[in-house]
């Protein structure tokens, strides 16, 4: 089953393409690491995949449907960069945020015991049961990240798309967070992760897409490590962050 299918996708904000002629597929169960230097088009590509931007040319399918007519939003959990850093000003509790993930499943807006149980399960899976009644804005970046993942789990999302989810998160929480992602992936959830730390990506992801406007590599992690794609895509920019455990 193909989760995302891009064919010859090009997108420009102005004159210069941010993403040029990219073709790639994400299969069910993949853990795809999306890497490239700063400003290389990673966020743009992720937003194109999810239908948040329309390509100038090329085609995009999500779960086998043209992304422009895709309506099963609850199948996708998207955690943008803003979700980690900002948090917004909505005075809502963690439980309320996670409960929002259930509304797509609740007929006529009434939540059943099953819905409440799904919320409890999701809070427990990501390890924030004890934070359920706290305001979302009062959480640390890493805790907030987990709350958004819990919301996606409560909605039974089968694709998690994460844009630099551990910016501002301390090393220990970051490790625990990536362990959580690995176990969710082992349970069958497809993951697309933007992460600037190449070491983390090659440790955790099963597949890599390496871009710098153009796609330099798409394939399994081993073939990426053995290839020259990293040096080619990063050029002389010297932005590569290596991180070894
Ligand atoms: P990355 O996620 O790899 O840092 P982005 O996809 O955010 O890269 O950006 C790719 C390029 O597009 C960059 O040159 C960036 O400055 C530009 N860009 C990103 N968002 C916008 C926008 N909303 N308007 C104009 N240019 C943008």
Query: In the chain, what are the domain boundaries?
Result: 2-234
Q: Whose CA is nearest to atom 23 of ligand 1?
A: 13
> Percentage of the chain with pLDDT > 70?
91
Contacts of 65 (CB under 8 A, 6+ apart): none
- The pair of structure tokens assigned to 73 is 């939003």
Flag whether pLDDT at 238 surpasses 80. no
CA-closest candidate to residue 233, choices 14, 22, 77: 22
Distance of CA 35 to the CA centre of its chain: 12
1-11 tens-digit pLDDT:
899 999 999 99
- Domain 2-234 classification at class level: alpha beta
211 ligand 1 Cβ < 6 A:
no
Residues 116-121: what's their mean pLDDT? 94
Tell me the per-residue pLDDT of 177-203, one tens digit each, with 9 for 90 and over: 899 899 999 999 999 999 988 998 999
Q: Which of 12, 18, 33, 42 to mutate to test the pocket of ligand 1 (most atoms within 8 A of CB)?
A: 18
Q: Whose CA is nearest to atom 16 of ligand 1?
A: 39
Element (H, E) at 234: helix 229-234
Contact 111, 118 (CB under 8 A): no
Q: What atom in ligand 1 is closest to the CA of residue 45?
A: 6
Q: State yes or no: pLDDT of 32 exceeds 60.
A: yes
Q: Give the model confidence (pLDDT) of 149-183 as tens digits.
A: 999 999 989 999 999 888 777 788 888 889 989 99
The CB of 17 under 6 Å from ligand 1? The reply is no
Residues 86-109, mean pLDDT to the nearest whole number? 79
pLDDT tens digits along 211-222 = 999 999 999 999
pLDDT score, position 73: 85
pLDDT at position 145 is: 85
């Amino acid at each position: 089953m193909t989760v995302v299918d891009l064919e010859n996708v090009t997108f420009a904000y102005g004159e210069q393409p941010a993403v040029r002629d990219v073709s790639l597929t994400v299969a069910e169960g993949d853990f795809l690491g999306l890497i490239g230097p700063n400003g290389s088009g990673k966020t743009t590509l992720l937003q194109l995949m999810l239908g948040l931007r329309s390509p100038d040319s090329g085609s995009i399918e999500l779960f086998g449907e043209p992304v422009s007519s895709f309506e099963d939003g609850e199948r996708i959990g998207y955690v943008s960069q803003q979700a980690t850093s900002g948090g917004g000003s909505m005075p809502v509790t963690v439980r309320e945020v996670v409960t929002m993930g259930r509304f797509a499943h609740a007929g006529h807006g009434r939540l059943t015991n099953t819905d409440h149980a799904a919320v409890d399960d999701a809070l427990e899976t990501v390890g924030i049961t004890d934070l359920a009644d706290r305001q979302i804005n009062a959480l640390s970046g890493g805790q907030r990240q987990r709350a958004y993942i819990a919301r996606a789990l409560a909605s039974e999302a089968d694709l998690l798309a994460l844009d630099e989810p551990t910016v501002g998160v301390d090393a220990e929480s970051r490790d625990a967070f990536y362990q959580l992602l690995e176990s969710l992936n082992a349970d069958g959830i497809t993951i697309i992760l933007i992460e600037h730390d190449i070491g983390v990506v090659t440790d955790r992801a099963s597949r890599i897409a390496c871009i710098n406007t153009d796609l330099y590599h798409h394939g399994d992690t081993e073939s990426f490590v053995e290839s020259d794609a990293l040096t080619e895509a990063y050029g002389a920019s010297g932005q590569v962050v290596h991180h070894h455990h």
